[in-house]
Amino acid sequence: MKNKKKRRPIRFRLASLALIAAASACFHPRPPTVDAIELVESVPVETGLDNADLRNTADVWCEMIRSARETIEMGQFYYAHRPGETLDRVILELAAAARRGVPIRCLADSRMSATYPILLDALRHMPGVSVRLIDFAALAGGTHHAKYIIVDGETVFIGSPNFDWRSLTHIHELGLRIRDRRLAAVYRRIFEMDWRLAGGQSRESVLGELAAKVEPAFEVSSKRYGRVSLQPTASPMSLIPDPSLWDETRIGRLLSEARREICLQFLSYSPVGRDSSPYVALDGALRRAAGRGVRVRLLVADWQKGTPAERALKDLAAVPNIEVRFSVIPEWSGGYIPYARVEHCKFVLVDGGKFWLGTSNGEKSYFHDSRNLGLIVDSAPMAQRLRRVFYKSWDGGTAEAVDPARTYSPRRHGEE
């Protein structure tokens, strides 16, 4: 029998990455000038969902981190790494940034850190990197579910991908990379609130020091899309600098403007809260839109098959002018991967002209109890590009219409 090669501890492997990064850091020039805003994707391997004109998340993350000269701030739900995967490249860039003197702050949800402690522990031991855990359950009853990166107080990445190796190669994700100091300042203020809360400062003092009125919209000029208007959004209302930023209100207003078509995609959707209370903010808006003749199409992950939300999806699918489909991503040929092979995108698109894209699913807890961020984009060219992404999934041959008369079996997606 051949001797099995002993695997080195992950801290040693990440330290090796840091040494490689240090040796190569001086060969990293600033990246070329990038557009003010771009739509970014991650696509599960062995699917036809890739869009050649959209850059991949890993490439954008690496470019952002490589460009950092002042600060890197990361607000993430959790940090999960498996050696040999695409996320290695991103970790190497973080190590290189830290070695060239860029301070890095990493924030994570405290409960999820217990599930995925290894990478966070390695980051803690990386010189120049600070890690804090935030207990959002104690603060608001939910989780720190946001997923974003801010570089040099200027460039922001926000969207559905978690800082997870699976998000880069086995999950369909969508995000936005924006370069604008005014917009970055809004998200940076929220990061600072959470960083201080995670450090033990009281919510009263944090809100007192960091609450501030935010401009209703910011305009950027894109080489690809022209003039683009941006409205930042956030949740929960009880812990944001300006209550006018609240995701739920701004998404509701967006839905009320629809006159022809609404396309929505979430991992999960439910008109019933986890406390069993009705949640009609989104559901009611969709039904009202359908009632005035708007065509509504909702795409959710097949992880909702066999769950309590299934009945609500069937009820919604029975409403005239509303169609609901389950998105189905086949398993990988290399074997089953838990919490993967799914469409995880989160957006609401109206009339092919405006959209919200963020980190929340279509459920009450994400807007009322948890930290989430989003962005409303007013740009017909950009909205039309997102619309083509939506219909690639909707019409791609793997989405299944929700049948009110059918009984569905749950799809396995967790640990074996």
So what's the pLDDT on residue 72? 98
Taking a C-beta distance cutoff of 8 angstroms, is the pair 329, 47 a contact? yes
Q: Is the pLDDT score of 24 beyond 60? A: no
Q: Compute the distance between CA of residue 184 and CA of residue 73 in angstroms, rounded to an integer.
A: 11
Q: Is the pLDDT score of 12 beyond 50? A: no
DSSP 182-198: HHHHHHHHHHHHHHHHH
Structure tokens at 274: 């986890």
Q: What is the pLDDT of residues 149-208, one digit of tens each?
A: 999 999 999 999 999 999 999 999 999 999 999 999 999 999 999 999 999 999 999 999
So what's the pLDDT on residue 340? 98
Q: What is the pLDDT of residues 373-388, one digit of tens each?
A: 999 999 999 999 999 9
Q: What is the pLDDT of residues 106-136, one digit of tens each?
A: 999 999 999 999 999 999 999 999 999 999 9
Please list the alpha-helical segments (H only) found in 82-135: 87-99, 110-115, 118-124
Q: Compute the distance between CA of residue 146 and CA of residue 194 in angstroms, rounded to an integer.
A: 11
Q: Compute the distance between CA of residue 349 and CA of residue 401 in angstroms, rounded to an integer.
A: 20
Q: What is the pLDDT of residues 332-356, one digit of tens each?
A: 999 999 999 999 999 999 999 999 9
So what's the pLDDT on residue 373? 98
Taking a C-beta distance cutoff of 8 angstroms, is the pair 20, 12 a contact? no
So what's the pLDDT on residue 172? 98
Q: Is the pLDDT score of 22 beyond 70? A: no
> CA 166 from chain center: how many Å?
13
So what's the pLDDT on residue 188? 98
Taking a C-beta distance cutoff of 8 angstroms, is the pair 377, 229 a contact? yes
So what's the pLDDT on residue 366? 98
So what's the pLDDT on residue 139? 98
Taking a C-beta distance cutoff of 8 angstroms, is the pair 97, 26 a contact? no
Rounded mean pLDDT of 207-211?
A: 97
Segment among 31-40, 64-73, 216-225 with least mean pLDDT: 31-40
Helix axes 57-67, 87-99, angle to 10 degrees: 0
So what's the pLDDT on residue 398? 87
Taking a C-beta distance cutoff of 8 angstroms, is the pair 50, 78 a contact? no
Taking a C-beta distance cutoff of 8 angstroms, is the pair 178, 156 a contact? yes
Rounded mean pLDDT of 26-55?
A: 84
Rounded mean pLDDT of 256-283?
A: 96
Taking a C-beta distance cutoff of 8 angstroms, is the pair 65, 128 a contact? no
Please list the alpha-helical segments (H only) found in 306-403: 309-317, 364-368, 380-394
Percent of residues, the chain, with pLDDT higher than 70? 92
So what's the pLDDT on residue 47? 97
Percent of residues, the chain, with pLDDT higher than 90? 89
Under 8 Å CB-to-CB from 144, ≥6 apart: which residues? 75, 76, 77, 107, 108, 109, 110, 134, 136, 194, 370, 371
3-state class (DSSP) for residue 362 = strand
DSSP 15-47: HHHHHHHHHHGGG-PPPPP--SEEEEEE--TTS
